[in-house]
Chain A
Amino acid sequence: MKLSNALRAATALTLVAGVSQAETITIATVNNGDMIRMQGYTDDFTEKTGHEVEWVTLEENVLRQRVTTDISTNGGQFDIMTIGMYETPIWGANGWLVPLDDLSEEYDVDDILPAMRGGLSNDGTLYAAPFYGESSMVMYRTDLMEEAGLEMPEAPSWQFIREAAAAMDDPENDINGICLRGKAGWGEGGAFITVTGNSFGARWFDENWNAQFDQPNWKEALEFYVNLMNDYGPDGYATNGFNENLSLFQQGKCGMWIDATVAASFVTNPDDSTVADSVGFALAPNAEGVEKRSNWLWAWALAIPAGTQKEDAAKEFIEWATSKEYIELVAENEGWANVPPGARTSLYETPEYQEVPFAQMTLDSIHAADPTDPTVDPVPYVGIQFVAIPEFAGIATEVSQEFSAVYAGQQSIDEALEKAQAITNEAMEAAGYR
């Protein structure tokens, strides 16, 4: 009798051990080049740990809605979620995410770029590990600049950008001086106009959460942007986002493009880009005399929802996917230009990576962005191209719609700013900030 009990217990133990050893984790992620590449290397992870991985890949906006619904209701559908710098501090503060404060020593958490670590933490606790990070920078056509007899400084001003756009603009040959985002949406045109505002000394809120769209800096920023785009931008820029501008730039229809640093690997890839060998990079511009530049900071990061039953396996995956070894694995198979950028300091110390043309400018741009001190005047929020409060996505989407209406010529700048002011103040009042 005792023997059979012991046998049973042993079997049960083996089973339990077996289950805890090999899990199947479900990961929700976005569809972009680096994430898809990672899915291709899942076998390496399975080989090392025994855990299987199920991927749920969704378009960014669908993903955001999907994972927000799940985590706020404790649905437990996912063991790892791919989230951004906007969600992480808010969700961390809500207690929705597992703190990543016990990662292994080999993982070397101190190697994560400080700007990324800061943006993915709440009260000093890391809640998501950056898979890749990005800032924004100027991408320009070196051949057109040369023809125009200009030289791009490493840190240009908006005034120089306008001068260069004028010189490169060539409607007869279908070349626009500059291509910029104008599409409505907080993560599209909203993000761009927010950082443009920062670089003109504007800010979303004062320290008491009062909207600041009635201040002269906002008007100056918006006027500059609209004039620049009306004079030298492509037709219909009010509906252009990242993809539309990428397509224009790759086909040689833009002299300059200021956007995410991850675009650098696309525009320099000869398979897709007709201008691959003549692209230069510079820091995102600022208005003369303003210390803040118009570069943002973003990271796609991996986080574990608090309700998961498979926390250990999920942590193992995060350590694998955001490790130095993973970067080496990709570099070995696909070259250094294709490794996920912007997450680890050690990557930028690798001699082979330093030879990648956009590596240094990406790092400089990330260093130039400080989410805890994003504007000239003090603000009560964290975030550069966004304000890390739950209400922001809704407010900024509405505000960016008003701005896009200006770009499309449907209303004046004054009207848009007045509406933006009212929308923001009303929403903040309703949310109890004011």
Chain B
Amino acid sequence: MARAVSTQRKTLTTALAWAIGLVIFFPILWTVLTSFKTEAQAIANPPIFLNFDWTLENYAIVQERSNYMRFLWNSVILAGGSTLLGIIIAVPAAWSMAFVPSKRTKDILLWMLSTKMLPAVGVLYPIYLLFIKMGLLDSRAGMVIVLMLINLPIIVWMLYTYFREIPGEILEAARMDGATLKEELIYILTPMAIPGIASTVLLNFILAWNEAFWTLNLTAVDAAPLTAFIASYSSPEGLFFAKLSAASTMAIAPILILGWFSQKQLVRGLTFGAVK
């Protein structure tokens, strides 16, 4: 009897999870569907769900109009570069905060996070002027640095949380065996924190991929990533929803595929922590 109830409950929760999942996924599905419609079908009211003549015309137009590969390549470099640089800086920072905390560690952590609370546009001019002075406008190097700095607080916080769950005794034991600080970081801490680091890397890659304020405001041609590619298809005067949807689908496809293949690591990292 008890088992019957639990099966029923299980079915119910599964159904609920699926329902919520579908609601969250629906806008993306709708975008993908719209990308295969004509502009007239895209704005039809009542909306057409599946019963339309599928066309690849929008993709052809987008391909013809924009150099997709250039935008894609920039996105990969900016997201990958900023995440890598962020991890290189954040691992030692999180290590020191987790294992040799000082009186001020908590304050520093909070202070780091507080930089995320400032609306980005508030520092647009100072950063823009700095970029002009340093010749970094519309450069990949400049964008990698900016995106890294934006995401650094999150990377440090995530790694700090994972590292905190690693028993300090393990590191102490390594130290007693004569491991240097570098060896301790590379051979003991990092392998144990791999799931945590992996999910941090993935999450930050996605955040950097989707970042659409700085990537739009500091780039023009050479460093413009996929966010600029999408922005070029949005129009307040003219209905180009099908083309916009095609561009959006092309922009999110790579990250969606990456997310799909790495969802196990992502979920494990986000839910279990390092050594549980």
Q: Are B239 and A246 in contact (CB under 8 A)?
A: yes
Q: Which residues of B contact A250 (CB under 8 A)?
A: 40, 43, 239
Choose from B40, B124, B217, B220 the contact partner of A26 (Cβ within 8 Å): B220
B182 within 8 A of A: no
Q: Are A75 and B132 in contact (CB under 8 A)?
A: yes
Cα of A28 to Cα of B232 in the assembled complex, Å: 10
Most B CB contacts (10 A, CB to CB) among A30, A75, A260 go to A75
Q: Which residues of A contact B236 (CB under 8 A)?
A: 59-61, 187-188, 241-243
Choose from A76, A243, A251 the contact partner of B237 (Cβ within 8 Å): A243
Q: Are B45 and A247 in contact (CB under 8 A)?
A: yes
Q: Which residues of A contact B138 (CB under 8 A)?
A: 77
A8 within 8 A of B: no
Residues of chain B from 83 to 134 with CB closer than 8 A to chain A in the complex = 124-125, 128-129, 132
Choose from B137, B220, B237 the contact partner of A262 (Cβ within 8 Å): B237
Given contacts A33-B238, A247-B239, A251-B45, contact A77 B233 (CB under 8 A): no
Cα of A28 to Cα of B137 in the assembled complex, Å: 15
Cα of A243 to Cα of B39 in the assembled complex, Å: 13
> Mask for A231-263, Cβ within 8 A of B = 1, else 0?
000000000011100110011010000001010
Given contacts A28-B220, A243-B237, A260-B237, contact A69 B45 (CB under 8 A): no
B44 within 8 A of A: yes
Given contacts A56-B220, A69-B128, contact A243 B65 (CB under 8 A): no
Residues of chain A from 12 to 62 with CB closer than 8 A to chain B in the complex = 26, 28, 30-33, 36, 39, 54, 56-62
Given contacts A57-B232, A73-B125, contact A31 B240 (CB under 8 A): yes
Residue of A nearest to B64 (CB): A40
How many residues of B are counted as interface, with CB atoms below 8 angstroms from the partner's CB atoms?
29
Q: Are A66 and B216 in contact (CB under 8 A)?
A: yes
A140 within 8 A of B: no
Q: Are A62 and B137 in contact (CB under 8 A)?
A: no
Choose from A73, A188, A260 the contact partner of B129 (Cβ within 8 Å): A73
B161 within 8 A of A: no
Q: Which residues of B contact A102 (CB under 8 A)?
A: none
Given contacts A69-B217, A271-B40, contact A31 B125 (CB under 8 A): no
Write 21 A-B pairs (CB below 8 A) sorted by A numbering: A26-B220, A30-B235, A32-B238, A39-B65, A56-B220, A56-B224, A56-B228, A56-B232, A62-B234, A66-B217, A69-B217, A73-B128, A75-B132, A77-B138, A187-B236, A188-B236, A241-B236, A243-B236, A246-B239, A271-B40, A272-B40
Q: Are A58 and B232 in contact (CB under 8 A)?
A: yes
A65 within 8 A of B: yes
Residue of A nearest to B43 (CB): A247
Q: Are B217 and A65 in contact (CB under 8 A)?
A: yes
A225 within 8 A of B: no
Q: Are B221 and A54 in contact (CB under 8 A)?
A: yes
Tell me how many residue pairs across A and B have CB atoms closer than 8 Å: 95
How would you classify the secondary structure of chain B's contact residues: helix, strand, loop or mixed? loop
Q: Which residues of B contact A30 (CB under 8 A)?
A: 235, 237
Least Cβ distance of B224 to chain A in Å? Answer: 7
Q: Are B44 and A272 in contact (CB under 8 A)?
A: no
Q: Which residues of B contact A262 (CB under 8 A)?
A: 237
B231 within 8 A of A: yes
Cα of A33 to Cα of B237 in the assembled complex, Å: 9
Residue of B nearest to A40 (CB): B65
Least Cβ distance of A141 to chain B in Å? Answer: 17
A78 within 8 A of B: yes
Residue of B nearest to A260 (CB): B237
Instruction: Beyond the given A31-B234, A73-B129, please list 5 additional residue pairs across the A-B interface where CB-CB is below 8 A.
Output: A59-B234, A59-B235, A60-B237, A62-B234, A77-B220
Q: Are A62 and B238 in contact (CB under 8 A)?
A: no
Cα of A281 to Cα of B132 in the assembled complex, Å: 49
Cα of A70 to Cα of B43 in the assembled complex, Å: 35
> Mask for B206-234, Cβ within 8 A of A = 1, else 0?
00000000001100110010001001111
Q: Which residues of A contact B228 (CB under 8 A)?
A: 56, 58
Least Cβ distance of A58 to chain B in Å? Answer: 5
> Mask for B27-64, Cβ within 8 A of A = 1, else 0?
00000000000011001110000000000000000000
A107 within 8 A of B: no
> Mask for B124-152, Cβ within 8 A of A = 1, else 0?
11001100100001100000000000000
A266 within 8 A of B: yes
Cα of A74 to Cα of B128 in the assembled complex, Å: 10
Residue of B nearest to A241 (CB): B236
Cα of A383 to Cα of B262 in the assembled complex, Å: 55
Residue of A nearest to B44 (CB): A251
Least Cβ distance of B182 to chain A in Å? Answer: 42
Q: Which residues of A contact B128 (CB under 8 A)?
A: 69-70, 73, 75
Cα of A363 to Cα of B197 in the assembled complex, Å: 64
Q: Which residues of B contact A39 (CB under 8 A)?
A: 65
Least Cβ distance of B120 to chain A in Å? Answer: 12
Least Cβ distance of A310 to chain B in Å? Answer: 14
